[in-house]
Amino acid sequence: MTEILFDLSGKIDQQKIEALSLLKKVADSLSIPFFVVGASARDFILEYCYNIRSPRMTQDIDLGVEVAGWDDLNKLSESLLSTGRFFASRERHRFQFGSVLIDIIPFGPIEDERGRISWPPEHEIVMSIGGFSEAFKNSVTLRLSSSPELKIKVPTLPGLALMKIISWKDKYPERRKDAEDLLFVMQNYEEAGNFIRLYDHEQDLLKEENFEVQPACIRLLGRDMAVIADPDTLGTVRAILDEETTEHSRYRLVTDMVRSTPDSNDRFEKVVLQVAKLRQGFNEVHC
């Protein structure tokens, strides 16, 4: 029996429920596993599970679908269009369901040896999907609706953080929102079920941080990210965090994290220290 981490029945927009219900029916018929990723996963976890208001809500849905190859993805796309409820867009990975935009990102055996995908036939669209497999493997199940019954997998916050930092780096400077979302996860990790965990099971870490909960929880997030990462992802994320926190860093990640805030200059140094805590925690595992 699948364990339901949270029951969010009645909290999710009905059109999203309809879109995900039909999509799940189609994907299940083709034996294609998927999970909700991106900003929708952020909202489901932080906004609806822990009542932590997101700085910007999204009406779009991003999905990671585990497929062996492009033929499987094409079958999924064709089956969605055949329902008459999903419509294609100019972008090959995007579908419209009413007012909801749905982006479908394949991962798994379809990836190349560098953890990337390139969309045929032109192969002009190239994406890094590092962290997807680990995030899916460690995902949790949410009940989004009890009538109709709808259970959907989403990444944990450490899994989401892995995907966000890799996506930011891969598409820099186009993915500033990934940096903002990563900071939001970092700064709210204590309120997302980890405050009690810190006091019950991580008191040594808390003592090292002079009982300052937020830096301790950011280090804990870094550790949690490293625990689920495979060796390639470990190397990728470690390199990003090293590059973004060293003495001679250009601090591009921190700049993108604080760019949209009116007091960005005041926040900059604080966020530099927070990213350094994330790096510290990440490097404390598998060293």
Ranges for all domains in the chain classified under CATH 3.30.460: 4-155
Task: Return d(Cα 207, Cα 276) in angstroms, integer.
Answer: 18
Is pLDDT at 2 greater than 60 in this prediction?
no
- pTM score of the predicted model: 0.95
- pLDDT interval class at 262 (50, 70, 90): low
Percent of the chain whose predicted confidence (pLDDT) is above 70: 97
CATH number of the domain located at residue range(s) 4-155 in this protein: 3.30.460
What's the pLDDT tens digit per position in 146-172? 999 999 999 999 999 999 999 999 999
What's the pLDDT tens digit per position in 173-221? 999 999 999 999 999 999 999 999 999 999 999 999 999 999 999 999 9
